[in-house]
Amino acid sequence: MNRPLRICVVYPDLLGTYGDGGNGVILARRAQWRGDEVELVQAPSDAPLPEADLYCLGGGEDGPQVRAARSLIDDGTLARRTAGGAVVLAVCAGYQIVGTTFPGADGVPHEGVGLLEVATTKGADARAVGEVVAEVVAESGLASLPTLTGFENHGGRTALDGAASGAGTGAGVGAAGVAGVGPAAAGLAGPTDPTVPLARVIAGVGNGDGSGREGAVCGRVLGTYLHGPLLARNPALADLLLAWALGLEVGELPPLDDTAAEGLRRERIAAMGRRRRTGRPRGSRGSRGSR
Amino acid sequence: MRSRLAVATTRVVNAASRRLGRGQGTVAGGRSGLRIDPRLLEHLTIGRAVALVTGTNGKTTTTRLLSVALGRDGARVVSNETGSNMPPGHVAALAGDRRAGLAVLEVDEVYLPRVLAATRAAVVVLLNLSRDQLDRTNEVRMVAGTWRAALAAAPHATVVANADDPLVVWAAGAALQVRWVGAGLGWRLDAVGCPACQGRIAFDAGGSWACVSGCGFARPEPMATLRASGDGASYQAVWSDGACQKIALALPGRFNYANALMAAVAAAALGVDAVDGLAAMAAVGDVAGRFTLREVGGVRARLMLAKNPAGWSELLELVGDDEGPIVISINARTADGADPSWLWDVPFERLAPRVVVATGDRCRDLSVRLHYAGVTHVTEVDPVAAVRTAAAQGASADGARDRVDGDCVHVIGNYTAFHDLLAAGVPAP
């Protein structure tokens, strides 16, 4: 790549509640440490969304979430760039708004950006709050990724659109065959790749639609409920996103010193293992006062 | 009758709990009392002038400063000084002193509506509102909404509110009487969305703000403003009539001067001249151990507390220019919130020139954060060992230790991490 890799943190003023801005910092640092030229852009919600190779969306409160979705749809850049091959990492409220529909504070459905064929509804039971451990599933096409760890905090329940996740595969792959551009190149109307689940929940709630799944992937768009931030705890996933954005295979990226992150991963995954063995109800610490 | 029994029970259980060493005796007794008389908080505040202090940061310090101002010439003031800021803590404090005519209560943000209704407070101090422990409390906007509804239903209360925090202004806007204070706002990331119209708030260089989406919501004109001197070394209260007064405090940090000014305006609402009130606050040295000098593991340590991004930002501003080693201790227990991802909202990059020792239950989360912030650090799970490690690092690094605050190690912990270190230390000679 001749120009710098451009990483854009989308609307940190609206979608920056749970430290997810860290994902952008982590991606930029890792690229920098490998000698790539990189530009990290914080894109405020009152300006046009800049062109970028990789977009990060984070968690946010209900009201700001609705405004963020509205602005992204009106702006159009995110959908256009995604169709052009840009990579999207969407976490929590960000995950919900890149889906087709999600509930506002009042429970009324709002239109999403439609990069993932997932629909979110308001959960009837308590908010999902706590640690998550999940294994990446084969159908995601990313099964070489190690166990995912993160922290979830959401009231919504997200379901993959059944019709879209099975059908449309053939047409999608065909349409995406523009050389070197990426899978979702067919048009602006919606994803042409199938939307598939990212992972299987080992501990925690995840999508919470009864499927036992967590997150969703469509082409180079990855949605998940995991904070932490996600990439602080899952450096291999950070490298996968970078490889996508740089047009490389993950194996082509020089290894980095991830001693600190590996220590954190071991600790978090082991902590959840202990909790399962002792039968302590998960979320028991977190549900107080939540809606 | 029922409330007398409840009061007696509260005091007996508190005393027993203290004697058994099961804590500071402020919650168990209060819980027992409230079980016997659910309206005990209401009964214990009848006939007293009550001031409530709430907000994300500065509650404990402001509560203390206001108590000192109100009690400056011998008036008897009762207060929940240990930081137990939910109804059991309020009841325990109030039951412990039935004669005090003035009560200053620190109140957890989420509990303000309940405590305001029960105490019919004369004064409510609203400091600031920003993200904190999102896994167990509510979104800040929702909290502001509950404040607003509660204040609309409390025409008896004079509200002392920070004019620089849009969420606070929106909440206070529903009150009948408000005294606005320009107390400043270091952390603005939670204030960008207009709470009145869902539009957008814009701040100007001077810190003033207004909704740019045209709803008319804007910073109100304060009756008192905190102004820093050119070098930032001293602070003045500037009153709307033009009068200025230097604020002298033993406590460090811009945020503490802001707390003092809020407390002074609250004291004035209860009949204490603000100038006299401020003068009385000068003597307050440390509040519940914050900024206290302790000997921890044989090392002189300055203990500081920061528990959310707004608090950390202010504190890093305060210690950022020092060069010696610094210990940072992070826990994620119930009182801290179980999700430490807020570490990524804290500008730890500021510490890059210093050697940091990461410790506490969640030192590994901190270590990853510092790694990406480019901060040289070592990780040591045990906090006391971490303080020793820091002292050793400082000594080996060209005597840098001597330059820090007169030979001590800076230690910052979040809530339970700070309290563990406080308990592990002894007063420094």
**What is the torsion angle, in degrees rounded to the nearest 10, for the CA atoms of residue B318, residue B320, residue B323 and residue B324?**
60
Q: How many CB pairs under 8 A join A and B?
A: 107
CA distance B231 to chain A (A): 31
Contacts of A13 in chain B (CB under 8 A): 189, 192-193, 200
Residue-wise pLDDT tens digits, A237-290: 999 999 999 999 999 999 999 999 999 999 999 998 876 655 444 443 333 333
Whole-number pLDDT of residue A289 = 31
Q: CB-based contacts of B332: which residues, under 8 Å, 6+ apart?
A: B338, B339, B340, B361, B362, B365
CA distance B367 to chain A (A): 6
Contacts of A227 in chain B (CB under 8 A): 339, 341
Contacts of A19 in chain B (CB under 8 A): 341-345
- C-beta of residue B278 within 8 angstroms of C-beta of residue B264: yes
Contacts of A131 in chain B (CB under 8 A): 338
pLDDT above 90: percentage of residues in chain A? 73
Whole-number pLDDT of residue B397 = 40
Please state the CATH superfamily assignment of the domain spanning residues B39-281 in this structure.
Mur-like, catalytic domain (3.40.1190.10)
Structure tokens that stand for B155 in this block: 């025409």
Return the bridge partners of A154, or none: A128
CA distance A84 to chain B (A): 30
A264 contacts B368? CB cut-off 8 A: yes
Residues in chain B: 429
Quote the pTM value.
Answer: 0.87
Interface of B with A in 20-59 (CB under 8 A): none
Q: Which residue has the tokens 């099975």?
A: A166
Answer yes or no: is pLDDT of A65 > 50. yes
B372 contacts A17? CB cut-off 8 A: no
Angle at B52 between CA B47 and CA B55, to 5 degrees: 170
Task: Please name which of B140, B142, B104, B96 lies closest in space to residue B123, comparing C-alpha atoms.
Answer: B104
Any A CB within 8 A of B109 CB: no
CA B427 to mean position of chain CA atoms: 23
Write the DSSP symbol of residue B321: T
Whole-number pLDDT of residue A276 = 62
> Which of A7, A13, A234 to substitute to test the interface with B, most B CBs within 10 Å?
A13
CA distance A57 to chain B (A): 15
B142 contacts A291? CB cut-off 8 A: yes
- C-beta of residue B184 within 8 angstroms of C-beta of residue A8: no
Bigger pLDDT: A139 or A279? A139
Rounded to whole angstroms, how far apart are CA atoms A179 and A165?
A: 24
Any A CB within 8 A of B217 CB: no
> Which of B372, B379, B414 to substitute to test the interface with A, most A CBs within 10 Å?
B372
Burial of B374 (0-12, 13-18, 19+ CB in 10 A): exposed
Bigger pLDDT: A176 or B342? B342
Whole-number pLDDT of residue B279 = 96
Whole-number pLDDT of residue A275 = 67
B139 contacts A62? CB cut-off 8 A: yes
B140 contacts A18? CB cut-off 8 A: no
CA distance A166 to chain B (A): 35
Tell me the average confidence (pLDDT) per consecutive run of 10 residues in chain B, 429 residues long.
Answer: 83 78 69 91 96 96 97 94 90 94 97 97 97 75 95 97 97 97 90 86 91 94 93 89 94 94 98 95 90 92 93 88 88 93 94 93 98 96 96 57 60 96 90
Minimal Cα distance from A29: which residue of B? B372
Q: Which whole-number Å values give the CA distances from A263 to A204, A238, B77, B292, in the listed order?
A: 21, 17, 50, 33
One DSSP character per residue, chain A reads --SPEEEEEE-TTTS-TTSTHHHHHHHHHHHHHTT--EEEEEE-TTSPPPP-SEEEE----HHHHHHHHHHHHHH-HHHHHHHTT-EEEEETHHHHHTSSEEE-TTS-EEE---SS-EEEEE-SS--EEEEEEEEEPGGGT-TTS--EEEEEEESEEEEE-HHHHHTTHHHHHHHT-STTT-TT-S-SSS--SPPEEEEEEEES-TT-SSS-EEEEEETTEEEE--BTTHHHH-HHHHHHHHHHHHT--GGGSPP---HHHHHHHHHHHHHHHHHHHHTPPTTTTT-TT--
For chain A, first and last CA: distance in Å?
46
Contacts of B312 in chain A (CB under 8 A): none
Domains of chain A: 5-278 (3.40.50.880)
Write the DSSP symbol of residue B270: T
Do β-strands A87-91 and B158-162 pair in parallel, antiparallel, or remain unpaired?
unpaired
Q: At what angle do helices B254-269 and B309-319 cross, to 10 degrees?
A: 120
Return the bridge partners of A156, or none: A122
- C-beta of residue A92 within 8 angstroms of C-beta of residue A225: yes
Q: Which residue has the tokens 């993959």?
A: A160
Peptide bond into B88 cis (omega under 30): no
Any A CB within 8 A of B139 CB: yes
Any A CB within 8 A of B136 CB: yes
Minimal Cα distance from A258: which residue of B? B368
CA distance A151 to chain B (A): 7
Rounded to whole angstroms, how far apart are CA atoms A279 and B359?
A: 28
CA distance B342 to chain A (A): 5
CA distance B234 to chain A (A): 32
Residue B412 parent element (H or E): strand B409-413
- C-beta of residue B421 within 8 angstroms of C-beta of residue B296: yes
Which of B138, B192, B342 minimises the CB distance to A289? Answer: B138
What is the residue type of B272?
Answer: V
pLDDT-based confidence at residue A174 (cuts at 50, 70, 90)? very low
Whole-number pLDDT of residue A286 = 36
Structure tokens that stand for A145 in this block: 């990724």
Do β-strands B235-239 and B224-228 pair in parallel, antiparallel, or remain unpaired?
antiparallel
What is the residue type of A243?
Answer: A
Whole-number pLDDT of residue B136 = 65
Domain boundaries, chain B: 39-281, 293-427
Write the DSSP symbol of residue B351: G
Contacts of B364 in chain A (CB under 8 A): 260, 263-264, 267
What class, spelled out in words, does domain B293-427 have in CATH? Answer: alpha beta
Contacts of A205 in chain B (CB under 8 A): none
Contacts of B137 in chain A (CB under 8 A): 289
Contacts of A21 in chain B (CB under 8 A): 344-345
Structure tokens that stand for B340 in this block: 């430490």
The winner for highest mean pLDDT among A28-32, A120-124, A165-169, B4-8 is A28-32
Task: Please name which of B171, B143, B173, B178 lies closest in space to residue B157, comparing C-alpha atoms.
Answer: B178
B338 contacts A129? CB cut-off 8 A: yes
CA B43 to mean position of chain CA atoms: 27
Any A CB within 8 A of B198 CB: yes
Structure tokens that stand for B258 in this block: 């802001």
One DSSP character per residue, B70-121 reads HTTTS--EEE-TT---SHHHHHHHHHH-SS-SEEEEE--GGGHHHHHHHHT-
A288 contacts B136? CB cut-off 8 A: yes
* Phi and psi torsions of B241, nearest 5°: -85, 5
One DSSP character per residue, B353-405 reads TS-EEEESTTHHHHHHHHHHHT--EEE-SSHHHHHHHHHHHHHHTTTGGGGST
B226: three-class secondary structure by DSSP: strand
Whole-number pLDDT of residue A105 = 82
Whole-number pLDDT of residue A182 = 36
Whole-number pLDDT of residue A280 = 46
Minimal Cα distance from A154: which residue of B? B135
Write the DSSP symbol of residue B133: -
Rounded to whole angstroms, how far apart are CA atoms A54 and A238?
A: 11
